[in-house]
Chain A
């Protein structure tokens, strides 16, 4: 290598100072790569072409609502669909290109990787959003447009986009396209239903003090969801010696507490908004906890072995599905407590037995783990657990729909027979609501199902459980 080429090299390497050293390496890499992709360029050109068309339509027919619809349709498409879709392969592409291991060998941990990818996609989203601002201003001068409302709407779409992007990035940690597809679609349905429910309550309570409470609630869901799904992706790509579980589970419990607090502050009766939101938050965190791989590394468990209090927290905050079972217990108690509290504060006279319906709903979450422990013990704690969990949930969902159809045409004794033969939590849940059946049976069956669902995985993995307790009780 002669001196000239060394000088050339230095010039070349200095070009790499285009991004500050303080920026996340992943953000720099993703921006460099992302802005070169065809999808980014095409989406950008299309967006501006459509914006120009909208503007021309608005100019030719001022006050026409069609151009307004078209305007928002394009923005929503880009920010709520195209941008999140780009996150769908964010982490799995690292597996496909065999670069995930190389990243692990650096100082980047899973969290910095997912956060960097999310920030890069959002930075590009902000670029999109900022580039349409001139059109917003021109539309304002053309009349019939409330600039502030438009800006708020754009902000809300931005929050939605950030959350949706976090979800797709989090799910992209699964290399299998089917698993991430099902996970993304499931979450999209769950969050859309939740969003629709909260929006409806928000509209019904428009103008009241509750409106603020709901707005805070939306922000809380957005912030928690974004954090959680990024942490979810991070934990799934990280080496097992990294502990992401504690922060994830604590964040879920914190979000539950905040949601509960908002309920106290603003009051949501008569609709049980906060228990429903709490159940969704805890459901997501519990499914994640129950499908985490099981590393019992002394180093990970050690911080919890200091004293009895830390040991107690370690029981449900350490990584792995074993502690996930204890987290399920904590989550179930939190949910039931929030329901009881809502019941008492709203004076809605919730039937005590209705709590059993919620308990049965909780059983739905843990039931697949019992099945995996019984029939696929070698998969327990492996990276396939999540896929298997989804598959079992899908099969149970299918069976439940069929049973429901059968029950609708069956008579009393046949109904009982069907429920007895298929004691699935989901089946039990709607069987319990069937007035023809004796509630006392369910007072016994549902808690028993809970105990079985918790007990089977613990008994089947007693060696790991013993090791877990040994690590937890081992002083430093």
Chain B
């Protein structure tokens, strides 16, 4: 591996090195005014965002929103019509080979070969990445250990389950120990167990200091894994920030579940008279109310009022706002503003 940059050579000696980002390092991913269209259809429309090193960022959007196009451009597999994309400060159009050394790409459909075993698959990609001799064997062993594929080494790839295949694909993406991982829908089609395993592996990678850019439809999963979320809709970025921010930003109201010793109807009666409170639905022992505004002080005020009005409360808790709801609300707002713009 004489022609690999020094940092990569160091990481192939078997010892685990945590990539600690330096303040002077350029961001892991920089996208500036990126536009890409296919036969007149605008897949990505003038988007800009930046991802710092060591972050795990979720990329969310409906089918056809432009996620895969953006990710493919990042992975040097497609090119922008205009705009600039940099990975670790390197332009993806001008220096694709250099970018490929920095990036590990896992597509939504992992590639399989017929008549090839797991270890042969990894061996092929290790060779193709330029590893030779003992170093190649070390890389293969390391990756197989990390992805727990040892017991499947001699199994033909086309006989693997989807979950095993995804692990193999992740292993392949990690062979050259990339700084940035771009994972396109890695959890799609996985059973719950495989999903948990994959999530676990991604968490370890994040702890190792790798930048992970991951797309998924399952927002709750991304919420658990990611430092921030990037929402894309019809080729435009509509939100970039932490999931907490998103929840707070969008929550002008909040839902509170209340359980009473009294009959549930009493809660409905009380809510109809209380200002800023709307009864949403009944539960077995109470119901859910919507409180507006959603500030902590207002919620505390509602609880005090309920007690002073003589309700026997046995449980009062704020329901966590779902990210899906927040996402749909943003989409609704965009749709509304565009309708207003048209009219």
Chain A residues in the interface with B (C-beta under 8 A):
1, 5-6, 8-10, 12-17, 21-22, 25-26, 28-29, 32-33, 36-37, 97-108, 239-241, 295, 297-299, 378, 382
Docked-complex contact A25 and B150, CB < 8 angstroms: no
Task: Give A26 to B125 CA distance when docked, in angstroms.
Answer: 9
A99 touches B113 (CB 8 A): yes
Q: Is the CB of A10 within 8 A of B137?
A: yes
Proximity bits, B148-161, A CB within 8 Å = 1, else 0: 10110110000000
Contact among B72, B93, B144, B145 for A299, CB-based, below 8 A: B93
B96 with A241: CB separation less than 8 A: yes
A101, B116: Cβ atoms closer than 8 Å: no
- Interface membership of B288, Cβ < 8 A: no
A-B contact pairs, 10 of them (CB 8 A): A6-B141, A6-B145, A9-B141, A10-B141, A13-B123, A13-B137, A17-B137, A32-B116, A105-B77, A297-B79
Among all A-B residue pairs, the 10 with the closest Cβ atoms: A99-B111, A25-B127, A106-B128, A21-B132, A16-B123, A98-B111, A36-B115, A13-B137, A25-B128, A29-B124
Contact partners of A1 in chain B: CB under 8 A: 145, 148, 150
Minimum CB–CB distance for B308 against chain A, Å? 61
A103 to B120, CA, bound (A): 15
B91 to A, closest residue via Cβ: A299
Sample of 11 more A-B contacts, CB < 8 Å, known A33-B115, A378-B40: A17-B133, A17-B137, A21-B132, A21-B136, A97-B111, A98-B107, A102-B105, A105-B100, A106-B100, A239-B77, A297-B79
Chain A residue with the shortest CB-CB distance to B125? A106
Chain B nearest CB from A155 CB (Å) reads 31
Would A12 and B172 be within 8 Å (CB), given that A21-B136, A103-B128, A107-B130 are in contact?
no
Q: How far is the CB of A79 from chain B (nearest CB, A)?
A: 23
Q: Chain A residues with Cβ under 8 A from B127's Cβ?
A: 21, 25, 28
B113: chain A residues within 8 A (beta carbon): 29, 33, 97, 99
Please indicate the chain A residues that have their CB under 8 angstroms from the CB of B144 in the complex: 9, 13
Chain B's closest residue to A302 (CB) is: B94
In the complex, which of the residues A22, A25, A104, A382 contacts B124, with contact meaning CB atoms closer than 8 Å? A25
Contact between chains at B129 and A106 (CB < 8 Å): yes
Measured as residues with beta carbon below 8 angstroms from the partner, the interface class of chain B is 35 or more
Asked if residues A13 and B124 are in contact (CB atoms below 8 Å), the reply is no
Cα separation A239 to B151 with both chains bound (whole Å): 36
Specify which chain B residues have a CB less than 8 angstroms from the CB of A5 in the assembled complex. 150-151
Chain B contacts for A240, CB-based, 8 A: 79
Interface residues, chain B, CB within 8 Å of chain A? 39-40, 72, 75-77, 79, 93-97, 100, 103, 105, 107, 109-116, 119-120, 123-125, 127-130, 132-133, 136-137, 140-141, 144-145, 148, 150-151, 153-154, 172
CA distance A15 to B153 in the complex (A): 11
Question: Hey, which chain B residues are within 8 Å of A97, CB to CB?
Answer: 111-114
Binding site secondary structure of chain A: helix
A37 near B140 with CB under 8 A, answer no
What's the Cα separation between A97 and B121 when bound, in Å? 13
Q: In the complex, which residues of chain B have a beta carbon less than 8 angstroms from the beta carbon of A107?
A: 97, 100, 128-130
| CB pair B103 A105 closer than 8 Å | yes
By the criterion CB–CB under 8 Å, are B128 and A108 in contact?
Answer: yes
- Contact between chains at B115 and A9 (CB < 8 Å): no
Q: Are B140 and A13 interface neighbours, CB within 8 A? A: yes
Contacts of B95 in A (CB 8 A): 299
With both beta carbons as reference points, the residue of chain A lying nearest to B112 in the complex is identified as A97
Nearest opposing residue in chain B for A23, CB measure = B127
Give the residues in chain B near A10, CB-CB below 8 Å.
137, 141
Q: How far, in whole Å, are A99 and B106 apart by their CA atoms in the complex?
A: 11
> A9 touches which one: B75, B100, B114, B145 (CB < 8 A)?
B145
Taken together as a complex, chains A and B put the C-alpha atoms of A106 and B77 apart, in Å, by: 12
Nearest CB in chain A: distance from B206 CB, A? 21
- Give, as a whole number of angstroms, the nearest-CB distance from B338 to chain A: 27
- CB of B165, distance to nearest CB on chain A (Å): 11
Do A8 and B136 touch across chains, with their CB atoms under 8 A apart?
Answer: no
Residue on B nearest A30 in the bound complex, by CB: B124
> B106: shortest Cβ distance to chain A, in Å?
9
Nearest B residue to A382 by beta-carbon distance?
B39
In the assembled complex, the CB of A149 is this many whole angstroms from the nearest CB of chain B, namely 39
Instruction: State A397–B116 Cα separation when bound (angstroms).
Output: 44
B128–A16 touching, CB < 8 Å: no
What residues on B are CB-neighbors of A16 within 8 Å?
119-120, 123, 136-137, 140
| Contacting pair A239 B123 (CB below 8 A) | no
Which of B95, B103, B112, B144 has most chain A Cβ within 10 Å? B144
| In the complex, chain B residues whose CB is within 8 Å of the CB of A21 | 127, 132-133, 136
Interfacial chain B residues near A28, Cβ < 8 Å: 123-124, 127
**For residue B96, which residues in chain A have a CB less than 8 angstroms away from its CB?**
239, 241
Q: How far does the Cβ of B3 sit from chain A's closest Cβ, in whole Å? A: 9
| Complex CA–CA separation, A302 to B150 (angstroms) | 47
The answer to whether B77 and A101 have CB atoms under 8 Å apart is yes
Contact of A98 among B109, B153, B172 (CB under 8 A): B109
Instruction: Using A12-B119, A13-B119, A28-B127 as known contacts, say yes or no to A104 and B76 having CB atoms under 8 A apart.
Output: yes
Which of A26, A106, A108 has most B Cβ within 10 Å? Answer: A106
CA distance A207 to B156 in the complex (A): 57
How near does chain B come to A97, taking the closest CB pair, in angstroms? 5
Q: How far is the CB of A244 from chain B (nearest CB, A)?
A: 14
CB distance from A113 to the nearest CB of B (A): 9
Residue of B with least CB distance to A116: B128
CB distance from A228 to the nearest CB of B (A): 25
Q: Which residue of B lies closest to A299 (CB)?
A: B94
Contact between chains at A102 and B107 (CB < 8 Å): yes
Inter-subunit contact B76/A239 (CB<8 Å): yes
User: Could you tell me the distance in whole angstroms from the C-beta of A98 to the nearest C-beta in chain B?
Assistant: 4
Q: Smallest distance from the beta carbon of A378 to chain B beta carbons, Å?
A: 5
Which residues from A are CB-within-8-Å of B120?
A: 16, 29, 32
B111 to chain A: which residues have CB within 8 Å? 97-102
Name the one of A15, A99, A108, A378 contacting B112, with C-beta atoms under 8 angstroms.
A99
- For B131, give the chain A residue with the smallest CB separation: A21
- Rounded to whole Å, the gap between the CB of B175 and the closest CB of chain A is 9
**Across-interface contacts of A102 in B (CB, < 8 A):** 105, 107, 111, 125, 172
Residues of A within 8 A of B136 (CB): 16, 21
In the docked arrangement, what's the CA distance between A442 and B39, Å?
A: 39
Which A residues lie within 8 Å of B97 (CB)? 107
Q: Which residues of A contact B107 (CB under 8 A)?
A: 98, 101-102
Q: Chain B nearest CB: distance from A372 CB in Å?
A: 14
| A295 in contact with B79 given A13-B140, A16-B120 (CB within 8 Å) | yes
A329 to B78, CA, bound (A): 31
Q: How far is the CA of A102 from the CA of B136 in the complex (A)?
A: 18
Tell me the complex Cα distance, A101–B173, Å.
12
